[in-house]
Structure 1
Amino acid sequence: MLRRPPAAPRAWTNAAVSAVAALLILVALPASGAPAQPDPRMVQMMITRVSADLEPFDPVPDPGAQPGSLDAETRAELTAELDALAVEHDFGLAVQDLHTGAAFSHGAHTQFPTASVAKLSVLAMLVRIAEEEDRDLTDAELAQAEQMIRHSGNEVTDDLYQHIGFTDGFEEGIEAFGLQSTEPNPSGVWGSTMTTAADQLRLLRALHLDEGPLSAEGREQIRALMESVVPEQVWGVSAAAGPDDTVGLKNGWTPRDNNGGLWTVNSVGYVVGPDRAYLVAVLSDGQPDQGTGITMIEEAVLLVTGAMEQGTVPDERSPDR
């Protein structure tokens, strides 16, 4: 069994940490019914990039660190742990360690409703439009953005969704950020946007690395809002944080009438600090209540980040390098 690290405090500092490029590898996991512990050689063969736009990046953030990946035994054991968790929970997950480039996914290409996670996309698209117009966010836009991200305000999100061009504008933003499986609701219900963990990881990369349409200043502005979410909404991704780490996130949670009142519970964001730099996206649906969804997400986050801390090895023979 993989060791689960103890839950870390949810408080964080605002220390500046520069998370720069590394390798991204998302693993295509076995289909339902496949053996829980695949042959390690087959696991290694299944390692692949999620798309051509996610190329290796250089250099790694920590001086002297070497690009790495999860060793085959750890990867197979982690896959079995998450397969067991998926028996009772419908979720998709994608995690990247920016220190080493090691990454892991489970159901990362399955679409889930965004709920309030869509607000992070709306903010990124708002900042992109302002930069294209060669201006800063207005005071009114910034006030609405703060309410949308820090407090997860819905009415201001309605306004900003209209402001960025409604569904057509959202689709333009999807293309600009290179999202591949994100689809807005045809009626403009932003919380019913469909997305994948892989796409949410792409968006997080665009907020950290110089590979998207935003300037460094725009990325920093968005991250500052993600790092100031009100304490009662800090859960999920933050489970991986230590006391000296910075956490930025946007969570989403809502019961859905068209799913029998079961809950969508999502968490996307990052944890960066002296000992770690993770981008994390976990999406889930069909949860009996919000608390159960949060517990599942935090268990999954701790499983993956704990495995990365235990089982990352130098990637000297990777065919992807």
Structure 2
Amino acid sequence: MTLPIPKTSTKMRTSVLSASVTTVFLLAGSVAGGMYLVGRWSDPGPGPVASVSSAADSPAPGPPAPVVTSEEPEVDLDAELAEAVAPLTGDSSVSVAVLDAAVGAGAVYGNGTYATASIVKVDILAALLLRAQDQGRELTAYERSRSVTMIENSDNAAATTLLRTIGGTAGLDAANARFGLVSTTAAAAWGLTLTTAADQLVLLKTVFGTHSKLTEDSRAYLQGLMRNVAADQHWGVSAAGSDWALKNGWMPRSATGLWDINSIGQVRSNGHTYLVAVLSAGQQTMATGIERVESVAKAAVGVLDGARG
């Protein structure tokens, strides 16, 4: 997804999501008093090559051109996201990361570490697909059947089996190092794997982006399962748009009786594609946690929608 760049442009400051979420942001133009974003993944190419001309062809030196400064305000997406999300968190702990997949503009609210619950099942399958690629093979029929059950039905036994297949916690940590997840630590009780919203955004880029350690076929397989989760799991980041693909996680904590409610995925809103990761802890009930996660996902997508003008 790439937008035309008008002749008048202004810079926009955004925060770096993580060492692994490296993006270049440009803010261009003004439309009906608003702004919109143009960007690309950070793959710097060669600089411009100066032309060569004779002295006779060179124009006579003139006065220096005046410095033109834009009157457009700077947009701090992290600050705008915090303003939108903070009132929604209540007495729970919430972190969210959102990225406009086309232009690279994104923001993060909260930098805490959270237990993954069942969203780690996307990570486990990504690691399994990477392992199969390394071995030059397709998934076996059994691995496919376990993968379908794990993602579409959030089956716990399937997750335990496939975690063992990839080499346990060491295998998952090794795959995550290759994916670029820098703040995720696998646990043998896989639902207690610790992660951050920013890291989950890196994982979503691995699943949905073209600059990925996973092949196109591997990505398409995982995306397809995330688009076909069971009907009782049609909640979470899907509330923020349409044409979604997601994986949710929900887990009551025995020590407190409170819930961890998480949701990660891709959604479409106003013609644009967004990657969204919402992590939370300390929810009073599963139902109230889902409601809160959905409101946060909608607010996060709304911030990027609004920044486009």
1:240/1:305 contact within 8 Å kept: yes
Match of 2:220 in 1: 220
1:305 aligns with 2:301: yes
Residue in 2 that maps onto 1:91: 94
State the partner residue of 2:64. Answer: none
In the alignment, is the contact (CA less than 8 A) between 2:250 and 2:286 conserved in 1? yes
* Corresponding position: 1:172 with 2:139: no
- Equivalence for 1:257: 254
| Rounded Cα–Cα distance in structure 1 between residues aligned with 2:181 and 2:278 | 16
Match of 2:284 among 283, 288, 304: 288
Whole-Å Cα distance in 2 between the matches of residues 113 and 291 of structure 1? 18
Deviations 1:107-140 (A, max 9, x none): 1x31100000110100000111011111111111
TM-score normalised by length of structure 2 = 0.77
Cα contact 1:71–1:311 (8 A) shared by 2: no
Q: Match for residue 237 of structure 1?
A: 237
Residue 22 of structure 2 corresponds to which residue in structure 1?
55
SS of aligned partner of 1:229: coil
Residue identity (%): 35
Q: Is the CA contact (8 Å cut-off) linking 2:18 and 2:198 kept in structure 1?
A: no
Which has the larger displacement, 92-101 or 154-163?
92-101
Describe the SS at the equivalent of 1:67.
strand
Size of the alignment, in residue pairs?
Answer: 258
Counterpart AA for 1:269: G
2:84/2:300 contact within 8 Å kept: no
Alpha-carbon distance in 2 for matches of 1:162, 1:191: 14
Q: 1:230 to 1:71 in 2, by over 3 A?
A: farther
One-letter code of the match for 2:124? V
Question: Which residue identity does 2:95 align to in structure 1?
Answer: G
Q: Aligned to 1:48, what secondary structure does the other structure show?
A: coil
In 2, Cα distance between equivalents of 1:234 and 1:142: 22
1:119 and 2:115 aligned: no
Matching residue of 2:69:
none
Shift in Å, 1:231: 1.4
- State the alpha-carbon separation in 2 of the partners of residues 106 and 73 from structure 1: 12
**CA distance in structure 2 between the aligned counterparts of 1:181 and 1:253, rounded to whole angstroms:** 20
Say which of 84, 95, 98 aligns to 1:81.
84
Which of 130, 135, 148 pairs up with 1:146? 148
**In 2: Cα distance, 1:273 partner to 1:141 partner:** 34
Corresponding residue of 1:106: 109
Structure-1-length-normalised TM-score:
0.74
Q: CA deviation at 1:98?
A: 1.8
Residue 160 in structure 1 maps to residue 162 in structure 2: yes
Q: Distance in 2 between matches of 1:273 and 1:74?
A: 18
Structure 1 residues 219 and 104, CA gap change in structure 2 (3 angstroms): same
How many angstroms apart in 2 are the aligned matches of 1:190 and 1:74?
A: 33
- Please give the alpha-carbon distance, in whole angstroms, between the structure 2 residues aligned to 1:133 and 1:153: 26
Please tell me the residue identity of whatever aligns with 2:107: F
Computing the radius of gyration from Cα coordinates, the structure with the larger value is 2
Is the CA contact (8 Å cut-off) linking 2:241 and 2:267 kept in structure 1? yes
Match 1:278 to one of 265, 269, 274: 274
Pick from 125, 128, 131: which aligns with 1:129? 131
* Partner residue, 1:67: 38
Distance of 1:189 and 1:80 partners within structure 2: 35
Deviations 1:17-67 (A, max 9, x none): xx69xxxxxxxxxxxxxxxxxxxxxxx76x331344433379xxxxxx851
Unmatched runs of 5 consecutive residues or more in structure 2: 3-11, 26-35, 40-72
SS at match of 1:91: strand
TM-superposition CA deviations, 1:74-133 (whole Å, max 9, x none): 7645422322223422011000112333212101x3110000011010000011101111
State the distance in 1 between where 2:161 and 2:140 align: 14
SS in 2 for 1:257: coil
Contact 2:15 2:78 in 1 (8 A): no
